[in-house]
Structures are given as structure tokens and as C-alpha cells.
Structure 1
């Protein structure tokens, strides 16, 4: 069943109605070709979702009738922030899509020393807008209760500073040793703690970046004996965390 997100101001629980406006109207009418009487799910972007039927359609608005509401427990008990080194080509689109499916609450694109891709202000803004659309689409598909945000591109230095207040900060590193130590570190994560994961671009992190991360309190971990691509590494650790934290 199709899922859409609305602002609380669009929900009129007293009248049992929800009013959809903007680009979602075109998607419902022109792409999905939905008709009155058809059912869909609406999320308020927080904890509540509504099972609705389409009551009326016009060019500017789709009016829904609320059948019932509920507060499902779809979200992980931890907020996970993925700090992703800018990859080449369209890899970021795949990373964002899968990170949203696996429960990340925010993706932060990061310029590291070995990034091949360099985005200027205007180009970066367009990319982030596109990435945000992908995050929204993935959130709808995977029954997320919120739309994870894609942050504007940061430098690695700024990303370390931004992550300073997070409870747990991890940086998978190909030279890190000790799977037992990594397993022990992950097992200590408790529900409710915020988690930051730093992933390098195709060339990985420079040694000085790893040193800066350690100085900032970020813990190096290993993901095994094999070298993972940038589009695989973040998804690997997100999968482990999802399995461990899911309640």
C-alpha cells in the first residue's frame, strides 16, 4: 500500500480528514493514477500513521478520510548518523537509499582528502536536493515513520566537530585490528544512544584523518579481513547495528 508523509497542520483529526497538497498530488493522480475510494497510509513524520481512503481529488489537493490511526514501532531505538565520504558517479544515491532502508536517521556527505568528487556550492545544493528526494522515496517504501534528512556537504574536520555530542562514534578502518574488540565495542551500545559512523570514499581515509578522528574520540573498528568498497562498508555496519538494536 502506498505511503506518504504530511505535516501535522495537514491533519484534521476532528473531521477525520487529511489534506495532501504539493508534488504528492501529481504523484497520486498522474503517476499512481489512484481514484477515490482507494486506500493508502499517511505518516505524520513522527510516531503516528493513518490508514486512509481517498475522499476527493482535484488539481490542487487530495482529501483523505481517516479510517483509523496507530503508533507502530518501526523505528530503531537509536538515532544513527552516517558520515559518508563523497563517492564517485551515482554511488551516493545507492548508499542513501539503502541507509534509509536500514534505519539511518541522517546521512551527512563528507569531503575527505582522498575524495575524487569535489562539489561547489551550487552543484552541491542540487545534489543534496536530489539525494533528499531519494531518501524520501526510500522512507516511503520501507515504512519509515520519518524522512531521514540528507545534510549539506561537510568537510571532515567539520564533521568530526558536528559529531562531538553523539554518544558513540565509529570509524571502520582497513588497518584496524581485533574483531573481538570491535564486537565488544558494538555490544556495549545501549538503546537510546546516538551513533555516528564515518565511512571513507573510494581511497579510504588518510592516516592523518584517522589520527584526527581518534583525537576527537572516534573509535576505529574493523569490518573483517576483506576490503569493502565505500558503497558496501557503511551498509555492512548499518546492517550489523540494525540486527543488534532492533527490538
Structure 2
């Protein structure tokens, strides 16, 4: 069953209206027929099972068969603070992070990041990245679309993370797997979590010190050095396994 998102304003008592690119995809790409079932999420935690009722000028009209609270979301909000990687790696990171249950992705410009984006390029990238997040949310059956925030500097990202209950920062110099396991085990359902991941060159020591001063907890991911596109997904996988209910 195909899955789409819509705004609550497009939902009536018994019908849902789908417009724009999703309408075109339903009608002209998927060539959906009357009576065909489709899943709809309102982005606020409710999922609907519908069937195609009719196609109007510029809109697909769906009849609501049933609705229920979504159970596809983790109990905790996880924010991935990803140091800007080279090439198209960010697209892969966002796609997989959304599949693993991330709540938000914050691209971070760090000291050792090779990629430097001016405001115009950054805005265009963020638009593209949010499109990737939408596609991944549809594919993985999420009930909401995680937002990719505008690119932040490291200090701005740390300030943003202050509102979270727990902040983790994998660091190659961190020691003690037992301490890492204890930290992960102590995270409770419902707590908000930030995960800081460095770019290809890793974090500068001063950046790690500033993160720790803010309250971030350094963790180790083992004896091997993980690529930037692997490290964040590893932490998200561990957290998903720990928090999934």
C-alpha cells in the first residue's frame, strides 16, 4: 500500500484531499484506480487507511476507511547534528537516519569540515535534503517527516542542543566501552537525545571540549575508526534498538 503525507487542513470528516506533486504521482505515475487503498499520515501522529474515491481537477479525493494513532515513531526525539561531509554523503546519511527514526537532522559547519557553503548554496542544499527526508519518510512508513534544519555553526548547534535531555558525542579519543554502555542503558523512554557527528576529519579537540562543557557525554563506538557516514547511523541504530517498544 502506497504511503503519502498531508496537512491536517486537507482532512475532512470522511475525506482527505491530496494536491500538488502527490496528486500527480497518484494519478499519472502510479495510475491509481477508484477503490485502491492508500495510507496517509497527517504529520502529527495519526495514520489513515483510505481508498481512492475520485480524481478532481488538481486533487485526489480519498475516502477514509479507518484512522489510528501511529506506532511507527520512537518514544524519544533524536536530533542528529551532522558535520558537513564531502560529496553526496549527506543525502545517504539523511535517508538512512530517517529510516532509523531520527526526529531532526541539523547540518553543522565544523572547523575540520572540507565543505564550505555560502548562504545561497546552503539554502539550496537544505531544500534538497528535506526532499530526501520526505521520500525516506514515505518509504519507511513514518507518521511524520523529519525536518532538516538550516546549516548551523558549531557554537549555534551546541546552543540548540542545550534544550535536549542528553547529548552524545562519539569521539575517537574517548575511552571505556563500559562507560558508553552504561550511558546508553541509562537513557529512558521519552528523553530527547542529541548526537554530534564530526565530518571526515573528525572534531577539533577544542570543539569536543566545548561540547563537554555544555554537558555532552563523549562515547566510544569501538576500536575501529568509523567513517562520518557510518558513525551517526551506528549510534542511531543502537538508540533505536534500545528505545524501540
TM category (shorter chain) comes to over 0.9
Stretches of structure 2 that go unaligned for 5 or more consecutive residues are: none
What does 1:122-161 align with in structure 2 at a 5 Å threshold? 122-161=120-159
Q: How far 1:59 sits from its partner (Å)? A: 4.0
Tell me the TM-score normalized by structure 2. 0.98
Question: Which residue is equivalent to 1:21?
Answer: 19
Moved over 3 A (4+): none
- Counterpart of 1:165 in 2: which secondary structure? coil
User: What residue is the counterpart of 1:11 in the other structure?
Assistant: 11
For the Cα contact (< 8 Å) 1:169–1:217, is it kept in 2?
Answer: yes
- Alpha-carbon distance in structure 2 between the residues aligned to 1:211 and 1:39: 53
Q: Give 1:71 shift.
A: 1.5
Alpha-carbon distance in structure 2 between the residues aligned to 1:32 and 1:107: 30
Shift in Å, 1:68:
1.1
Contact 1:25–1:59 under 8 Å retained in 2: no
**Alpha-carbon offset, residue 72 of structure 1:** 3.1
Aligned Cα root-mean-square deviation (Å): 0.8
Matched, 1:121 2:119: yes
Question: 1: distance between equivalents of 2:132 and 2:29?
Answer: 17
Secondary structure, in 3 states, of the residue corresponding to 2:162?
A: helix
Q: CA deviation at 1:175?
A: 0.6
Whether 1:173 and 2:171 are equivalent positions in the alignment is yes
Residues in 1 aligned to 2:22 and 2:117: alpha-carbon distance in whole angstroms: 29
Q: Give the 5 Å matches for 1:226-237.
A: 226-237=224-235
Shift of 1:26: 1.2
What's the secondary structure of 1:220's corresponding residue?
Answer: strand
Q: Which residue of 1 aligns with 2:215?
A: 217
Deviation, structure 1 residue 70? 1.4
Match of 1:110 in 2: 108
Q: Which moved more, 1:236-245 or 1:21-30?
A: 21-30
Write the distance in 1 (CA, Å) between the matches of 2:212 and 2:66.
Answer: 49
Q: Secondary structure at the match of 1:176?
A: coil
- Give the drift of 1:228: 0.2
Task: State how far apart, in whole Å, the 2-side matches of 1:177 and 1:201 are.
Answer: 20
SS in 2 for 1:197: strand
Match of 1:41 in 2: 39
Match of 1:208 among 206, 214, 227: 206
Instruction: Tell me whether 1:50 sits opposite 2:48 in the alignment.
Output: yes
Q: Shift of residue 181 of structure 1?
A: 0.2
Per-residue deviation, 1:31: 2.1
TM-score by length of 1: 0.97
> What is the alpha-carbon distance in structure 1 between the residues aligned to residue 45 and residue 204 of structure 2?
41
Q: Do residues 77 (structure 1) and 75 (structure 2) align?
A: yes
Distance 2:70 2:118 in 1: 41
Structure 1: any 5+ residue segments left out of the alignment? none
Could you tell me how far apart the structure 1 residues matched to 2:128 and 2:29 are? 19
Q: Is the Cα–Cα contact under 8 Å of residues 82 and 104 in structure 1 kept in the other structure? A: yes
Partner of residue 189, structure 2: 191
